[in-house]
């Protein structure tokens, strides 16, 4: 019989099952991602060479010195290429101690067996990621850690996966986090305004550094502001972070037949007034004590705490990067007052207070703070279109509370609180967790490909000795 052509009246497209379409798309994305990575690899290599040439020119090195450096660099590149082809796994690391535990996995202090280097290993269960629709968020977290080449974001050296888990190998910051600082390092339950200025200024620079990459954190809280050995701030935990790629959107993973390779690869170069209600000193002290006693449990629970989340994020009617500045305002309030403004007996009550912030954001009279500090808090915890820091961060940096801050050299200066770190593996600023075997639940192998291109190795991570 005569074959039907597309122009024929009775022609109809053959229907393919969703399963077949997903398999076709998987094959297409896998192949294209492979070649896309090869191209990016060459571009990155050329970029490293340009940086070397520029630094040698600035140093005014002799011809012989330049040639020696080029040879050393070429050797490093060869080593990087060789090590990039090796498959990293759990067996390459010695587990030392659990230093964090959350809804989807845990964080362990580990030592890389061949180099002896100490890292923090974040392990995330794939099955939980799929079941709780967290694939988009974990993709965004991995991508931001790859793209963020600045001192304000915790550095990731490797990422890899196995049948059960995703693994992020990051620098270990022995200073703990802002939550630890607020609960344990302060004899008065609060920080001074001078100390608060330092931590808020560094947090502004850290948050802005990811905004410049096109990411919104959405989960800024003291737990996610880590402290390094010198007492300076680094931003971490991008599990709720949202970015500009389709692969950072949860809806995207509900119809994977539309996936494109670019979704899985890294693009290169990419005064107010509020009424206050009087609280007596006992009320405030009791509130601070209650908050601190339950704060740890909230940090590690599957529910978490809504205390720091901007109201528009809860409404899901649209939000922008200014939601991160609201969160910073809440942290500043907690630093100076001793507890966050909306803390309550239950997450539901906290949520109600956040949504009714115009009436519930009040300052206790018995914990005095300056008018300038109060004004900054109210300039952050306000309507999104009135919030300082948006659309330009300069409006926030120019606030009177930050007078005298050296924004350019702040990280080179001594921190507001000095860290007493005893060794490379000092975990005294972390909670104690009982060791437990990892839960191993395998996911459907037909769905496992959504974690394609998760593996990563950082150049300086592989070449440092």
Can you state the angle between helices 371-380 and 322-337, rounded to 10 degrees? Answer: 150
Q: How does DSSP assign 404-448, residue by residue?
A: T--TTTGGGSPPSS-----STT--TTS------PPP--PPPTTTG
Backbone angles phi, psi at 428, to 5 degrees: -65, -20
- For residue 196, the surrounding DSSP H or E stretch is helix 193-211
CB 462 within 8 A of CB 156: no
d(CA 100, CA 119): 13
Residue 267 Cα distances to 103, 158, 206, 455, 462, angstroms = 30, 18, 21, 16, 22
Q: Among residues 143, 177, 219, 223, which one is catalytic?
A: 219
CB 429 within 8 A of CB 226: no
d(CA 351, CA 306): 6
β-pair type (225-227, 456-457): unpaired
d(CA 276, CA 362): 5
- Whether residue 122 is annotated as binding a ligand: the answer is yes
Q: How does DSSP assign 269-314, residue by residue?
A: ------------HHHHHHHHHHHHHHHHHHHHSSS---TTS-HHHH
> Minimal CA–CA distance to 159: which of 416, 404, 456?
456
Q: How many Cα neighbours within 13 Å face the side chain of 110?
A: 27
Q: How far apart are the first and last CA of the chain?
A: 72
What length does the chain have? 465
β-pair type (165-171, 156-161): antiparallel
User: Which residue reads 């291109």 in tokens?
Assistant: 453
d(CA 409, CA 411): 6
> Minimal CA–CA distance to 232: which of 30, 465, 412, 77?
412
Given CA atoms 54, 71, 156, 334 in this order, what sign does their dihedral have?
negative
Q: Per DSSP, what are the bridge partners of residue 457?
A: 158
Annotation marks residue 255 as catalytic: no
Supply the residues annotated as catalytic.
219
């Amino acid at each position: 019989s005569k074959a039907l052509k597309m122009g024929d009246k009775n022609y109809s497209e053959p229907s393919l099952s969703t399963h077949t379409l997903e398999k076709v798309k998987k094959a297409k994305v896998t192949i294209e991602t492979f070649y896309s990575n090869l191209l990016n690899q060459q571009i990155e290599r050329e970029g490293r060479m340009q940086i070397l040439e520029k630094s040698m020119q600035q140093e005014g090195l002799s011809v012989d010195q330049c040639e020696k450096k080029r040879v050393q660099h070429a050797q490093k590149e060869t080593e990087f290429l060789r090590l990039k082809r090796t498959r990293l796994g759990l067996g390459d690391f010695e587990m030392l101690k659990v230093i964090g535990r959350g809804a989807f996995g845990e964080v362990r202090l580990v030592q890389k067996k061949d180099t002896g280097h100490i890292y923090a290993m974040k392990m995330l269960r794939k099955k939980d990621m799929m079941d709780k629709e967290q694939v988009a968020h974990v993709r965004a977290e991995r991508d931001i850690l790859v793209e963020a080449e600045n001192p304000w974001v915790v550095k990731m050296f490797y990422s890899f996966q196995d049948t059960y888990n995703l693994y992020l190998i990051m620098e270990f910051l022995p200073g703990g986090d802002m939550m630890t600082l607020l609960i344990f390092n302060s004899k008065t339950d609060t920080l001074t305004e001078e100390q608060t200025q330092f931590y808020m200024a560094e947090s502004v620079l850290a948050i802005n550094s990811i905004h410049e990459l096109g990411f919104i954190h959405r989960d800024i809280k003291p737990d996610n502001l880590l402290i390094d050995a010198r007492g300076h701030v680094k931003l971490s935990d991008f599990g709720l972070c949202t970015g500009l790629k389709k692969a950072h959107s949860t809806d995207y993973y509900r119809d994977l037949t539309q996936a494109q390779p670019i979704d899985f690869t890294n693009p290169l170069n990419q005064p107010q007034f509020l009424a206050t209600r009087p609280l007596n000193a006992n009320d405030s002290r009791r509130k601070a004590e209650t908050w601190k006693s339950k704060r740890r449990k909230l940090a590690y629970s599957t529910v978490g705490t809504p205390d720091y989340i901007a109201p528009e994020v809860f409404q899901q009617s649209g939000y922008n990067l200014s939601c991160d500045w609201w969160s910073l305002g809440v942290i500043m309030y907690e630093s100076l007052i001793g507890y966050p403004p909306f803390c309550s007996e239950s997450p539901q009550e906290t949520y109600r207070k956040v949504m009714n912030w115009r009436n519930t954001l009040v300052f206790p009279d018995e914990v005095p703070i300056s008018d300038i500090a109060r004004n900054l808090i109210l300039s952050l915890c306000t309507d999104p279109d009135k919030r300082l820091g948006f659309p330009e961060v300069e409006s926030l940096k120019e606030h009177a509370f930050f007078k005298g801050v050296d924004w350019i050299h702040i990280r080179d200066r001594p921190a507001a609180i000095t860290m007493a770190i005893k060794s490379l593996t000092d975990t005294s600023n972390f909670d104690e967790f009982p060791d437990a075997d990892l839960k191993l639940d395998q996911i459907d192998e037909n769905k496992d490909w959504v974690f394609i291109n998760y593996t990563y190795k950082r150049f300086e991570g592989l070449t440092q000795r």
